Structure 1
Amino acid sequence: MFSDHRITARRRVGPAAALTLALTLPLGAGLAPPAAADVPPPVPVVGGARLAEPGVQVALGPGAPPLPGGLTGQSWLVADAGSGEVLAAYNAHLRLPPASTLKMLFADTVLPKFDRTQVHRVTNEELAGMGAGSSLVGIKEDLDYSVEDLWRGVFLSSGNDAVHVLAHMNGGVDETVRQMRAEADVLGAADTQVVSPDGYDADGQLTSAYDLTLFAREGLRNPDFRSYCGTRDAQFPGTVDKASGRRGTFGIQNTDRLLGKYPGLIGVKNGYTTNAGATFVGAAERGGRTLLVAVMHPESYLKVYDDTAALLDWGFAAAGKTTPVGALVPPRPVASPTPAAPPAAAHAGASAAAVAAGVGRPGARLLSPESWAVIGAVTLCAAGGGWLLNRRRRTAGPAQADPGRPVGGSTALGRRR
């Protein structure tokens, strides 16, 4: 919407004159781009306006303890997993590399698709394409693994080899990335861009503390997800002994350093790469309340656990004594297939989507002065043309009404799985 700039004059310029003026004015003459205040407002921030503000966001009530000191994460968030209330946050929507915490979204997407007892024989192709220095659980080609084994490799060892095998079972890496993007959209994770399913550093692969909290909250609704992320150690299938023909096992441990140490900790997932630094999402239960904490990019690898523990302590002490500064959005209902929209409706929908995707986002481009001049000229032409057409119709007599065109129908919404 543009501001109402009023122009006073003794005489009004008629539509015909406006049409002539539009056709004779050179592009850009008198048609300046809108001022910054005239730009349409940005798309509403997911989770509430305060979460878009930089710096610490908290509203302490009577008796609430202050936030812990010494926090060094570039972004963090504390939320109640049950109610979805965000108790405090710092740069909640800051987009940063996720490292292996992105495996939570991978699990949200793929875990429900395969029975845990299903057995799969691994091929060499499925182990190809992993990034140099990837964390591995130790999967070997031409050997059988149960789906349960593979998920333990994902959650305990953060094994990119296990992720790639499951992704190939799911239709391939590219297909899995596509599905993860769709899942992020359903969950309301607007800050997330998925490039690889395992979270390995890749250009453009980003997420936020807010989105990571959404992934963890969704995952903990699945009993298998909850079981895997809370497992401290397990035996993993090894190679076959050539002499005896028997297949051995070896032990793997969960790389989550708070598991078994922080009282009431449930999980969920840690991550680390040189580019991303340390990232972690932890969930803990105490007194019937489950809290989620996400911390991204503190000053050191071990500091991510210190910050998480401190924020969990604060959250349990402050619960019920703060005013929420935002909320974790619920998953969006999945739309069921509907007939294709008419061209006009489809175009309108595409335009709305383009505005929603561009306004207020980094990299969004405003129209140039020349473009605004063209838009102004076209608008004036349309107004003048409409005036002339109406005048002709009044002279010739009543015109027949054009048959109406549908502009789109209601969308049938299905349940979230």
Structure 2
Amino acid sequence: MRESSRLSRRSLLALTAAVPLAAAVPASASASASASTSASASAATDSPGVVGGERLARAGVQVRGATGLPGKLSARAWLVADHDTGEVLASYRAHQRLAPASTLKMLFAATVLAKFERTERYTVTDADLAGIPAGSSLVGVKAGITYTVEQLWQGVFLRSGNDAVHVLARMNGGLARTVAEMQAKAEDLQALDTHVVSPDGFDHKGQLSSAYDLTLFARHGLKDADFRAYCATRTADFPAGGKKTFQIQNTDRLLSGTYGVKTYKGLIGVKNGYTSNAGNTFTGAATRGGRTLLVTVMHPKSGYNAVYEETAALLDWGFAKAGSAQAVGTLAEPLSEGGASVSPSRKAARAAAGSPAAAADGTSPWRLLEGGAGAVVLVAGGAYALRRRSAGRAGRHLG
């Protein structure tokens, strides 16, 4: 069992009822991403009120100084960025708010992972497994079995197990507390397109993120050695009770090379996701020639492998155009690490006054609060109208 001292966690960021001073950006965009490539040669400087730079809020593909983007990109939103510099090299609807599926587990890990030692042991109870959404992907956590924290995180990263997520969330003080901490973490990372309803990324009304925010989560998470190791693990032995174990495999097809997808040279993670509502979403990171790129692809229109194929194509483009592609925006730095917040313009503030958050198919109106001190935490503790499932039952794949 975990030590009682674990209950004394770092206090949450101050919660306020402040309304984001924001401007809803028109969501109009060309049906064909490749046909709407921006020809602007203006510098990629930040504009008041837009996280990462005003070009990231524009309709159409944003690219500068380089040509040859993949011609058959069907994703509803995507982004290519340099991991080390934070430069966004190309994007399409970077701030469009869409259902994230299990890629939201990157934020869960970024929020909770550092709180527990890998070797800490925890005996799972029935209460820990209550309320897991029907149809969830499961790694096979069972009540009465003792797991190390490392094994639970392997269940999260490799099999996208919502059962492992719920156990870790209970260890962290419960679902509502974990959701609140995740929302506060998103605010600190300046990922303001994200609204957290559940820690597992399962389909819940209002649970949204964006290609920009998911890329922020991956970049921040990869700074942690454990996060990086977990997302790069291909297989692991998982407890089955007593001395018995069974092997689990990573569902990231660019890493595992399964189901007709070739492994991507230099891939180091990060997380895939799927639900019937969200479709396929993937954030991947790869290193070649000393350079690490991040790519997020959300909701391709074609088959299941398209999310991996389009990610690989964008990574190939990024590595090939390393010398010519110029930044069209930047990945924001965390406020807690000295990141500069963006003060919205008066025009933006007036436009946003009284405006609700954008719908799932619209570009996000969220922008950074002036000074970055207020964290708007939206906790939907009553959103779980869910039936209890057996932890051993194989659920619908989310990873």
Secondary structure of the equivalent of 1:333?
Answer: helix
CA contact (8 A) 1:43 1:356 kept: no
Amino acid at match of 1:58: V
Q: What CA distance in whole angstroms lies between the structure 1 residues aligned with 2:192 and 2:372? A: 22
User: Which position in structure 1 is the counterpart of 2:89?
Assistant: 87
Q: How does 1:12-411 map to 2 (within 5 A)?
A: 44-60=49-65, 64-240=66-242, 247-260=243-256, 261-299=263-301, 300-333=303-336, 360=351, 364=355
Per-residue deviation, 1:236: 0.3
How many residues in Structure 1 have an aligned counterpart in Structure 2?
A: 301
Superimposed CA distance per residue, residues 255-302 of structure 1 (whole angstroms, 9 cap, x where no aligned partner): 000015100000000000000000000000001000000000001321
Amino acid at match of 1:48: G
Q: What CA distance in whole angstroms lies between the structure 2 residues aligned with 1:201 and 1:210? A: 20
CA contact (8 A) 1:272 1:301 kept: no
Q: What CA distance in whole angstroms lies between the structure 2 residues aligned with 1:275 and 1:175? A: 26
Per-residue deviation, 1:360: 4.7
In structure 2, the CA distance between the partners of 1:77 and 1:277, relative to structure 1 (3 Å rule), is same
User: Which position in structure 1 is the counterpart of 2:44?
Assistant: none
CA contact (8 A) 2:157 2:230 kept: yes
Residue ranges of structure 1 left out of the alignment (5+ in a row): 1-41, 241-246, 336-351, 366-409, 413-417
Q: What CA distance in whole angstroms lies between the structure 2 residues aligned with 1:314 and 1:82? A: 17
Superimposed CA distance per residue, residues 29-48 of structure 1 (whole angstroms, 9 cap, x where no aligned partner): xxxxxxxxxxxxx9611000
Per-residue deviation, 1:87: 0.3
CA contact (8 A) 1:51 1:93 kept: yes
In structure 2, the CA distance between the partners of 1:321 and 1:120, relative to structure 1 (3 Å rule), is same
Superimposed CA distance per residue, residues 325-361 of structure 1 (whole angstroms, 9 cap, x where no aligned partner): 00001111279xxxxxxxxxxxxxxxx99x9996555
CA contact (8 A) 1:52 1:91 kept: yes
Same amino acid, percent of matched pairs = 62
Secondary structure of the equivalent of 2:238?
Answer: strand
Q: TM-score, normalised by structure 1?
A: 0.69
Secondary structure of the equivalent of 2:335?
Answer: coil
Q: What CA distance in whole angstroms lies between the structure 2 residues aligned with 1:362 and 1:256? A: 42
Q: What CA distance in whole angstroms lies between the structure 2 residues aligned with 1:156 and 1:281? A: 14
Secondary structure of the equivalent of 2:255?
Answer: coil
Secondary structure of the equivalent of 2:113?
Answer: helix
In structure 2, the CA distance between the partners of 1:359 and 1:320, relative to structure 1 (3 Å rule), is farther
Q: What CA distance in whole angstroms lies between the structure 2 residues aligned with 1:180 and 1:118? A: 22
Superimposed CA distance per residue, residues 351-401 of structure 1 (whole angstroms, 9 cap, x where no aligned partner): x99x99965559707xxxxxxxxxxxxxxxxxxxxxxxxxxxxxxxxxxxx
Q: What CA distance in whole angstroms lies between the structure 1 residues aligned with 2:146 and 2:209? A: 34
Amino acid at match of 2:49: P
Secondary structure of the equivalent of 1:258?
Answer: helix
Secondary structure of the equivalent of 2:336?
Answer: coil
Q: What CA distance in whole angstroms lies between the structure 2 residues aligned with 1:233 and 1:220? A: 19
Per-residue deviation, 1:55: 1.1
Per-residue deviation, 1:65: 3.9
Superimposed CA distance per residue, residues 65-107 of structure 1 (whole angstroms, 9 cap, x where no aligned partner): 4101100000000000000000000000000000000000000
Secondary structure of the equivalent of 2:314?
Answer: helix
Q: What CA distance in whole angstroms lies between the structure 2 residues aligned with 1:197 and 1:97? A: 13
Per-residue deviation, 1:320: 2.3
Amino acid at match of 1:315: G
In structure 2, the CA distance between the partners of 1:66 and 1:108, relative to structure 1 (3 Å rule), is same
Per-residue deviation, 1:110: 0.1
Per-residue deviation, 1:239: 2.3
Q: What CA distance in whole angstroms lies between the structure 2 residues aligned with 1:217 and 1:56? A: 22
Give runs of ≥4 in structure 1 deviating > 6 Å. 355-358
Amino acid at match of 1:277: G
Q: What CA distance in whole angstroms lies between the structure 2 residues aligned with 1:182 and 1:356? A: 27
In structure 2, the CA distance between the partners of 1:43 and 1:124, relative to structure 1 (3 Å rule), is farther
Q: What CA distance in whole angstroms lies between the structure 2 residues aligned with 1:359 and 1:190? A: 19
Residue ranges of structure 2 left out of the alignment (5+ in a row): 1-46, 257-262, 357-370, 374-399
Secondary structure of the equivalent of 1:95?
Answer: coil
Q: TM-score, normalised by structure 2?
A: 0.72
CA contact (8 A) 2:49 2:348 kept: no
